[in-house]
């Protein structure tokens, strides 16, 4: 199987711009690859994937990644591997957008993004997630083997 994705779909995913580069449908379920543009000050909820291993490759900027309570800084050109079941949170503490690839194997996380996110029309401006968007993510997470971790275990984002 081979393919060329010349029209990736862009999403507003929790207030970050997510571009679906390779979906599970395109890779026969073996993996998915999503390009993320995370605005300054944005963070994912703390979470763990039950079904996928996750690789993060930084393209631009940097992220603090809280892994099981320990924070690691991942900078442009660096790669981080997270084994399934590992609790983690991605935090952009900088004053610039962080751009990175998320590769999950096997695929499945792509369907979570498609379920929780809204298609993002050009010019691709995102806003902080709405309460409805957060609730949609909470509702969908269990179906995709994603455990969202309560906020008391989350590293604060500086003001």
Predicted local distance difference test score (pLDDT) of residue 152: 60
156 within some domain: no
Predicted local distance difference test score (pLDDT) of residue 128: 84
Domain hosting 46: range is: 9-149
Residue 96 CA from chain centroid, whole number: 17
Containing H/E element for 73?
A: strand 70-75
Predicted local distance difference test score (pLDDT) of residue 100: 99
72 within some domain: yes
Q: How many domains would you assign to the chain?
A: 1
157 within some domain: no
Q: In CATH, what number is assigned to the domain containing residue 133?
A: 2.60.120.10
> What residues contact residue 31 under an 8 Å CB cut-off, 6+ apart?
22, 24, 103, 104, 105, 106, 107
Per-residue pLDDT of the chain (159 residues; tens, 9 = 90+): 687 888 899 999 999 999 999 999 999 999 999 999 999 999 999 999 999 999 999 999 999 999 999 999 999 999 999 999 999 999 999 999 999 999 999 999 999 999 999 998 877 778 888 888 899 989 999 999 999 998 764 455 544
42 within some domain: yes
Predicted local distance difference test score (pLDDT) of residue 155: 52
39 within some domain: yes
Predicted local distance difference test score (pLDDT) of residue 143: 94
2 within some domain: no
43 within some domain: yes
> What residues contact residue 85 under an 8 Å CB cut-off, 6+ apart?
48, 49, 50
159 within some domain: no
At 112, is the secondary structure helix, strand, or coil? helix
Predicted local distance difference test score (pLDDT) of residue 159: 43
- pTM equals 0.86
């Amino acid at each position: 199987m081979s393919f060329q994705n010349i029209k990736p779909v862009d999403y507003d995913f929790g207030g970050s711009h997510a571009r679906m580069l390779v979906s599970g449908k395109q890779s026969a379920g073996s993996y998915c690859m999503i390009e993320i543009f995370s605005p300054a000050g944005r963070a994912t909820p703390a979470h763990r994937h039950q079904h996928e291993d996750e690789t993060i490759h930084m393209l631009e900027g940097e992220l603090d990644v809280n892994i099981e309570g320990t924070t690691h800084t991942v900078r442009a050109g660096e790669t981080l591997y997270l084994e399934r079941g590992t609790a983690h949170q991605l935090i952009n503490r900088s004053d610039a957008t962080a751009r990175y690839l998320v590769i999950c194997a096997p695929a499945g996380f792509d369907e979570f993004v498609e379920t929780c996110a809204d298609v993002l029309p050009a010019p691709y401006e995102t806003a902080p997630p709405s309460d409805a968007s957060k609730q949609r993510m909470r509702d969908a997470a269990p179906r995709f083997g994603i455990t969202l971790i309560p906020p008391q275990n989350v590293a604060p984002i500086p003001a």
